[in-house]
Amino acid sequence: MLRPLIALMALAMILATVAGPAGGEEFYRGKTIRLIVPSDVGGGYDLYARTFATHFRRHVPGEPTILVQNMPGGGGLLAANWLFNIAPKDGLVIGLIQRGVPFYPFFGDQNAKFSPTRFNWLGSFTAETGSTTVFHSAKAQTMADAFKDSIVLGGSGPNDSETYPHLMNNTIGTRFRVVSGYRANSAVFLAMERGEVEGVTGSWSSVKSERPNWVRDKQVRVLVQFARARAPDLPGVPLVTDFVKTDEHKAMWNVILAMAEVGRPVTAPPGIAAELTKVLRKAFTDTVSDSAFVAEMERGRRELSPEDGETMQRLLDDVSATPPETLTKLIGYTRRSDPSAR
């Protein structure tokens, strides 16, 4: 009788170890969680991560040490590939992912060695609202004008400043003309003030933080916003989806808006215990609603409009169902357009 009893006790101990203790408190006590950052020290992602780490540990049961580890390379791909393929699957490694990186496999990027839907997403710090913003001297002052006249926008590379206007031209029939070559959107802001270009497309939060006087003194007008719901401070500005008519074009914008909504996401590798995923998701949600964390983010003028891990998971599952031919067209539509042909 003794041997079977000992065997049962040993089995129970093994199962408890595999599953992880209830709430994870004993599991994490005295341990270290590594938080991987896909960029160099001092960048935007690094600042988010280091601010987060100091508060996150208080919300993980057992209050483990949080070690921030920078892993720059490949525009964020190095960190994502490492987290998916190499990182230990023990609940002691999590990572911040650059915004567009989770979508690379959907577009056929062979350098992306991971499946976005198999990560265990914990949440996102911010869902970006994009905007096409024009200076007060621009001839176009409403979105209706964008369908009639050519509007010159400054572009700073293959990012929102150029891909969004091209996609609008190709899907809803606007007449935006993009002038490329600016170093960054901050340089486009100067060009708007000098009268070189009429407007810019990019993050609305960047416009507000870099040029607060524009908003305060009503020196700019927002023609359209890129989000699933109107921003509280842009209640009268139309969403780009208000103008999209065909199902295929709606599917394209669904991908683009999902990329914006994913924002600055945090994930755990695939294969960790489900109980630990729940613990880490709750800790993330509790941290981003912590008044001390929120206050520190506000002092640093860093955008915070968090999403939970379940929402991130659903967004990527939704995008994964997009037909490959639609994604192929989307790539082409974001790279070129000819507004003069309309």
pLDDT score, position 127: 84
Round to whole Å and give the CA distance between 18 and 91.
Answer: 12
Q: How far is CA 257 from CA 115, 163, 228, in A?
A: 20, 13, 7
> What is the location of CATH 3.40.190.10 in the chain?
130-258+328-341
- Contacts of 182 by beta carbon, 8 Å cutoff, 6+ apart: 154, 155, 156, 161, 188, 191
- The CATH number of 26-125+263-305 is 3.40.190.150
Residue 311, class by beta-carbon neighbours within 10 Å (0-12 exposed, 13-18 middle, 19+ buried)?
A: middle
Q: How far is CA 163 from CA 86, 126, 174, 202, 323, in A?
A: 33, 21, 13, 10, 20
Q: Which residues are 123's β-sheet partners?
A: 266, 308
> What is the location of CATH 3.40.190.150 in the chain?
26-125+263-305
Q: How far is CA 126 from CA 132, 198, 261, 297, in A?
A: 19, 28, 7, 11
In residues, how long is the chain?
342
Round to whole Å and give the CA distance between 307 and 11.
Answer: 39
The structure tokens listed for 160 are 């929102």
pLDDT score, position 98: 87
Amino acid present at 164: Y
pLDDT score, position 337: 80
Map residue 183 onto helix, strand or coil: coil
Whether domain 130-258+328-341 has CATH 3.40.190.10: yes
pLDDT score, position 25: 75
Q: pLDDT tens for the chain, 342 residues: list them.
A: 445 444 444 444 444 444 444 457 789 999 999 999 998 888 778 989 999 999 999 999 999 999 999 999 988 899 999 999 999 999 999 999 988 899 999 988 899 999 999 999 999 998 889 999 999 999 888 999 999 989 999 998 888 899 999 999 999 999 999 999 998 888 999 999 999 999 999 989 889 888 999 999 999 999 999 999 999 999 999 999 999 999 999 999 999 999 888 889 999 999 999 999 999 999 999 999 999 999 999 998 788 989 999 999 999 999 999 999 999 999 999 988 877 666
Q: Which residues are 34's β-sheet partners?
A: 67, 93
Strand 32-37 relative to strand 93-96: parallel, antiparallel, unpaired? Answer: parallel
Residue 322 CA neighbour count, 13 Å, CB half: 28
Round to whole Å and give the CA distance between 180 and 252.
Answer: 23
| Residues 187, 99 contacting (CB under 8 angstroms) | no
Candidates 119, 128, 102, 124; CA nearest to 48 is 124
Amino acid present at 87: A
Tell me the pTM: 0.77
